[in-house]
Chain A
Amino acid sequence: MKDTLANTEKKTAYILTLPAVALVFAIILFPIFANVWISFKEVELKDIRIPEPRAKKIVKSISEDPSKIKILYKLRNSSLLQEIRDVSFQDKFPKNFEIEELDTRCDYKKYTLKCKFGNWPAKYRENFTVVFETNDGSIINKKVLKSTKPKLDGTSDNILLNATFTLKNFKKVLFDDEFIDLLLTTFYYTFFGTVGSIIFGILTAQMVNQKFYGRTFMRSVLLFPYVAPVVALAYTWELLLDPNSGTLNSLLINYQVIETPINLLGQKYITINILGFDFKLRLALTTVIMFEIWRYFPLAFLFILARLQAIPKELYEAADVDGASPFQKFFKITLPQITAVISILFMIRFIWNFNKFEDVFLLTGGASGTRTLPINVYQQGFAVSDIGMGSAVSIVIVVLLLLFMFFYFKLLGKRVDEN
C-alpha cells in the first residue's frame, strides 16, 4: 500500500515538473549544446535559412471559352546558395476538371496534379503552366481555384546538420591580434564595475541604515536605476553626456571648468597629468563603467542593507560602552559582519557584468575601446554575420566563466577552512 502511494507521488511529481523542465531544457540547456556544435562549423547568417521550393499560383481565364482555364505556377528555389533535391509538387482541383495536356513530369489522378520536378539548383526559376477544361462544360469559378494552394516538398542539406567540423573559428578568435585587448577590456569593465557597485552599495546601505526623515522613500529611490528599463536609461545618459548639447558638458562649460566639450562616450583615451606624469585613461570605457556602477549598485545596496539590519544592536551598544569611535565601529563590527554578503555579491555581479551586453551596446555600440566579449558575440554573429565565429566567442565566454567560478570557489573554500 505504502509503496503504491510513494509511486503515485513520484508520478505526480514528474507530471507536475515536466512542462517546466521540458521548456527550460529546450530553450536554455539545448542551445548551450547547440552552441558548441555551431562553434565548430563555418556557418554564415545567410546559410541558416533552409532552402524551400516555392510556387506562386496565377489563375488566368482564357477568353471566349469560360469552361477552360490556364493556371501558371511560378516555381523557384528560395535559396541563392543551395540546391533542393527531389522536388515534389501537388495541387488539388474540383471534380469536374480535366487536364488538356500533361507535362511528362506530371501525373493527374483523382483530381490531383502530382509532379516530380527532380533537382533544382540554387536560384532556379521556372514558369510552369497547365490548362484545364471542365468535362460538363460548366463555367469555372476562379475563386475556388485560388483558394487551394500547391504543396511543394524537397530535401536539401541543412548546413547546420552535416558532419563537417573545423577549428577555424577558435583559431580566429584566440589568435586574433585584438583578443588580448578584448579580454582586458572585458576584465576592466567587469572588475571595476563590480567593485564600484559594491563600494557604493556599502556606502548607501550604511546611510539608509540610520534613522532619518524620508528613509523609506530614499530606499525606493535608490532602487530606481535597477528596476527601470535599460533602454530608457541608456538613452537618457547618452543625452546627458552628449558633447554637442548635452547637459553635463554645457554645465561644465558654463561654470568654466572645461573649455571645450569632452566626448565622454566617443573618445577612447584621455591624457591626465598627475604630478608631471601623463596618464592615459580609457575615457569611454570609464564612462561605461560609471553607468554600470550607477545602474547596479542598488542590488549591492539591498543585499548589504538586509544584512546590516540583521546585525544585533547589542554589538554596537557594547562598543559604545567601550568608547569606540564610529570608524572603529565600522571596521571592527560592521565590516566583518558583511564580508560573507560581499563575497556572494562579488560573485553574482562579476558573472552578470561579465555577460552584460545591453548596457555597452546601447551606450557606445562597442566603439571607442568599449568592445567587450558579449559585444563581440553580437558583432561577429550579426554585424560580420559569421554565426560560427559568434558561437565560438560565446563558448570562450562560458569557459572563462567556469574557470572564474572554479577558482573563486576554491579560494572561498580555503578561506572558510582557515576560519
Chain B
Amino acid sequence: MKTKNLILFPLISSFFLVFLVSIWKILATLQGLDIQNFNLQIIFIFGLLISFAHLRVGNKIKIFYKSIIFSLIFVICDGYIIQKLPLWYNIGIFLVLYFFVNKINKYSFEDLKQEHSTQVIFFDFLTLFGILFFSFVILFPFYMMLITSFKTQIALLVNPLDFSINFGQDLKDLFNSYFVIFKSYKFGKYILTSTIVSVGTVIITLLFAIPAAYAIARLNFFGKTFMSTSILIIYMFPAIVLVIPLYTIFSQLGLRNSIEGLLIVYTATTLPVAIYMLQGYFKSIPKELEEAAILDKLSWFGIISKIIIPLSIPAISSVALYVFMIAWNEFLFSLMFLDNPNSFTLSRAIQYLSGDAETPRQYLMAGSVIVTLPVLFIFVYFEKYLVSGLTAGSVKG
C-alpha cells in the first residue's frame, strides 16, 4: 500500500507540473517568444525529483525556504536548456514552481501511509488541473478576441502567434480598428438599433408579462392550469420552425427590415419565460397585503402598480436583464428579417461584415468585442441575481 502510494504520488504531481509549465510556455509563446520545444521529459523528471526531495526533506526546512530553493534550481536548469529568454519568462517559471511546491507540501510522508491517500491526491490535483484547464479553455477565445482587435493586418499575418500588444504606440493606432468600424462601417448606428430593440423588448415584455403573471399567480379562472403548463411547452418550441411562416407573413405585411417587426417577434419569444419567472415570484408575496388592498377598494391596476411591482423589484429587474440579454444576443430572426444595412442590429452587422472575405479580421474582432462587452458586463455585475434565473432556464439556447 505504502510503496504504491510512494510511486503514484510523484507521478501524479509530476504530470501536474508538466501541465502547469506547458500552459506557461504556451502563454509565453503567444507573447512572441520563440519556444519550439516543451522539453516535457525533462520537466517530468524534475517533477519526480522535486517530489522525492520534498518527501525526503519533509518539514526539516521551513516551507518558504524549501519552495524558493526548489524553484530556483528548476529555473536555473530550465534557463540553461532554453537560453536567451527574457527575465519575465523566468520569473513566471519561478512563480509556477513556487505554486507547485506549495501545493505538494500539503502531503507529507506520513499522509501517504493512509488508506485512499493516492485517490485523495489524485482528486485534489484533478480539481486544480480542472480549474486551470477550464479557465484557459474558456478565457482564451475571449482573450484572443480582445487582443486581435488591437492588432494590425500585417502584424497578424507575419506572426499569428504574437499576442503581445505594443502599448508604446499612439492610442489612436492602438484603437484603430474601433475607429474604423465606427467611421466606415456605421457601428454607432448598429449599436443604437440594437439598444432600441433590446430596451424596447424589455419594456413591452414587462408590460405584457406582469399582468399575465399576476393573473396566473393569484386569480382563479378557467384555463389557468392549462395556461401555466403550456407556457413551458411553448418555451421549448424551436425558433427555426417559426422562421419560414413568420418570414412570409412579415413580407406580406411589410414588417421585414423594420424595428417593429423585430420587437414583435422578440417580445413573443421572451414572454413565456418572463411570465414563468414572474409568476413564481409573485406567488411568494404574502396574500394578506392584497386582501387589505381589496378592502380599500383598490382596482387590479392599483394592486399591481402599488403592491406587486414595488415588492418584486428584484425579480422584475432580473427578468428585465435576461430579456435584454436574449434580445441583444439574438441572431436567427435578425438574419431572416433584416437585409437592409440601414436596419441591422449589431449581431447581424457583424455577420454581414464577415460575409465580405476582404474584411480584415481585426475589424471583425473589434465588432465582436463591442457586442460582447455589454453582456459580459451585465452578467458579471449582476451575477447574484442572474445565476438563480439561469437555473430556472431563462436563457434558451
- Chain B residues near A9: list those with CB within 8 A: 219-221
- Chain A residues near B393: list those with CB within 8 A: 348
Please tell me which stretch of A56-64, A126-134, A170-178, A234-242 contacts chain B, meaning at least 4 of its Cβ atoms lie within 8 angstroms of it.
A234-242
Does A226 lie within 8 Å of B119, measured CB to CB? no
Separation of A269 and B215 alpha carbons in the complex (Å): 55
Does B268 lie within 8 Å of A27, measured CB to CB? yes
Does B145 touch A at the CB level, under 8 Å?
yes
Does B95 touch A at the CB level, under 8 Å?
no
Does A367 touch B at the CB level, under 8 Å?
no
Does B295 touch A at the CB level, under 8 Å?
no
Set A203, A210, A230, A247: member contacting B161, Cβ < 8 A: A247
Does B329 lie within 8 Å of A229, measured CB to CB? yes
Does A35 lie within 8 Å of B234, measured CB to CB? no
Does A245 touch B at the CB level, under 8 Å?
yes
Does B244 lie within 8 Å of A387, measured CB to CB? yes
8 further interface pairs, Cβ-Cβ under 8 Å (given A256-B37, A326-B122): A14-B221, A23-B267, A219-B387, A231-B331, A247-B144, A247-B160, A355-B238, A361-B335
Please tell me which stretch of A137-145, A274-282, A298-306 contacts chain B, meaning at least 4 of its Cβ atoms lie within 8 angstroms of it.
A298-306
Given contacts A224-B142, A302-B390, contact A17 B371 (CB under 8 A): no
- Chain A residues near B35: list those with CB within 8 A: 254
- Chain B residues near A246: list those with CB within 8 A: 160
Separation of A245 and B148 alpha carbons in the complex (Å): 12
Set B131, B209, B346: member contacting A218, Cβ < 8 A: B131
Contact with B along A216-229 (1 / 0, CB 8 A): 10111111111111
**Smallest Cβ-Cβ distance to B219: which chain A residue:** A13
Given contacts A227-B375, A250-B160, contact A221 B115 (CB under 8 A): no
**Smallest Cβ-Cβ distance to B370: which chain A residue:** A232
Does A31 lie within 8 Å of B364, measured CB to CB? no
CB-defined A-B contacts under 8 Å, sample of 23: A10-B219, A10-B221, A17-B211, A27-B246, A28-B242, A35-B242, A48-B248, A206-B127, A223-B390, A226-B395, A229-B368, A230-B331, A232-B369, A233-B141, A239-B144, A251-B161, A254-B161, A299-B390, A299-B397, A325-B119, A326-B120, A361-B335, A391-B245
Chain A at the B interface: SS class: helix
Does B161 lie within 8 Å of A13, measured CB to CB? no
Separation of A377 and B238 alpha carbons in the complex (Å): 12
Does A352 lie within 8 Å of B267, measured CB to CB? no
- Chain A residues near B219: list those with CB within 8 A: 9-10, 12-13, 16
The count of residues in chain B whose C-beta lies closer than 8 Å to any C-beta of chain A is 102
Does A336 touch B at the CB level, under 8 Å?
no
Set B134, B240, B245, B387: member contacting A302, Cβ < 8 A: B387
Does A72 touch B at the CB level, under 8 Å?
no
Does B350 lie within 8 Å of A236, measured CB to CB? no
- Chain A residues near B267: list those with CB within 8 A: 23
Set B214, B241, B246: member contacting A16, Cβ < 8 A: B214
The distance from the CB of A108 to the nearest CB of chain B, in whole angstroms, is: 32
Separation of A235 and B35 alpha carbons in the complex (Å): 28
Does A296 touch B at the CB level, under 8 Å?
yes
Does A331 touch B at the CB level, under 8 Å?
no
Does A17 lie within 8 Å of B227, measured CB to CB? yes
Separation of A23 and B157 alpha carbons in the complex (Å): 51
**Smallest Cβ-Cβ distance to A344: which chain B residue:** B393
Separation of A218 and B224 alpha carbons in the complex (Å): 41
The distance from the CB of A171 to the nearest CB of chain B, in whole angstroms, is: 19
Does B240 lie within 8 Å of A31, measured CB to CB? no
Does A34 touch B at the CB level, under 8 Å?
yes
Separation of A320 and B383 alpha carbons in the complex (Å): 34
Given contacts A48-B252, A225-B138, A229-B375, contact A27 B161 (CB under 8 A): no
**Smallest Cβ-Cβ distance to A306: which chain B residue:** B391
Does A49 touch B at the CB level, under 8 Å?
yes
**Smallest Cβ-Cβ distance to A214: which chain B residue:** B131
Does B238 lie within 8 Å of A229, measured CB to CB? no
Does B242 lie within 8 Å of A224, measured CB to CB? no
- Chain B residues near A193: list those with CB within 8 A: none
Does B138 lie within 8 Å of A394, measured CB to CB? no
Within 8 A of A (CB), among B339-397: 346-347, 350-351, 354, 361, 364-365, 367-369, 371-372, 375-376, 379-380, 383, 387, 390-391, 393, 395-397
The distance from the CB of A334 to the nearest CB of chain B, in whole angstroms, is: 12
**Smallest Cβ-Cβ distance to A215: which chain B residue:** B131
Within 8 A of A (CB), among B286-303: 300
The 10 closest A-B pairs by CB, nearest first: A355-B238, A27-B268, A232-B368, A31-B245, A34-B245, A13-B221, A16-B211, A20-B212, A16-B215, A13-B219
Does A227 lie within 8 Å of B145, measured CB to CB? no
The distance from the CB of A255 to the nearest CB of chain B, in whole angstroms, is: 7
Given contacts A21-B227, A302-B391, contact A227 B269 (CB under 8 A): no
The distance from the CB of A173 to the nearest CB of chain B, in whole angstroms, is: 13
The distance from the CB of A169 to the nearest CB of chain B, in whole angstroms, is: 12
Separation of A251 and B38 alpha carbons in the complex (Å): 12
Within 8 A of A (CB), among B221-249: 221-222, 224, 227, 234, 236-249
The distance from the CB of B4 to the nearest CB of chain A, in whole angstroms, is: 13
Contact with B along A23-35 (1 / 0, CB 8 A): 1101111111011
Does B240 lie within 8 Å of A34, measured CB to CB? no
Set B37, B269, B350, B380: member contacting A235, Cβ < 8 A: B350
Q: From B35, B236, B243, name the one whose CB has the most chain A CB atoms within 10 angstroms.
A: B243
Does A355 lie within 8 Å of B241, measured CB to CB? yes
- Chain A residues near B300: list those with CB within 8 A: 12, 16
Does B137 touch A at the CB level, under 8 Å?
yes
Does A387 lie within 8 Å of B241, measured CB to CB? no
Does B192 touch A at the CB level, under 8 Å?
no
Does B251 lie within 8 Å of A35, measured CB to CB? no
Does B351 lie within 8 Å of A231, measured CB to CB? yes
Does A182 touch B at the CB level, under 8 Å?
no
Does B244 lie within 8 Å of A245, measured CB to CB? no
- Chain A residues near B369: list those with CB within 8 A: 232
- Chain B residues near A254: list those with CB within 8 A: 29, 35-36, 161
The distance from the CB of A228 to the nearest CB of chain B, in whole angstroms, is: 5
Within 8 A of A (CB), among B71-108: none
Does B55 touch A at the CB level, under 8 Å?
no
Does B57 touch A at the CB level, under 8 Å?
no
Contact with B along A336-355 (1 / 0, CB 8 A): 00000000000010011011
Does A160 lie within 8 Å of B221, measured CB to CB? no
The distance from the CB of A38 to the nearest CB of chain B, in whole angstroms, is: 6
- Chain A residues near B116: list those with CB within 8 A: 323, 325-326
Separation of A382 and B221 alpha carbons in the complex (Å): 44
Q: From B220, B243, B245, B371, name the one whose CB has the most chain A CB atoms within 10 angstroms.
A: B245
- Chain A residues near B207: list those with CB within 8 A: 19
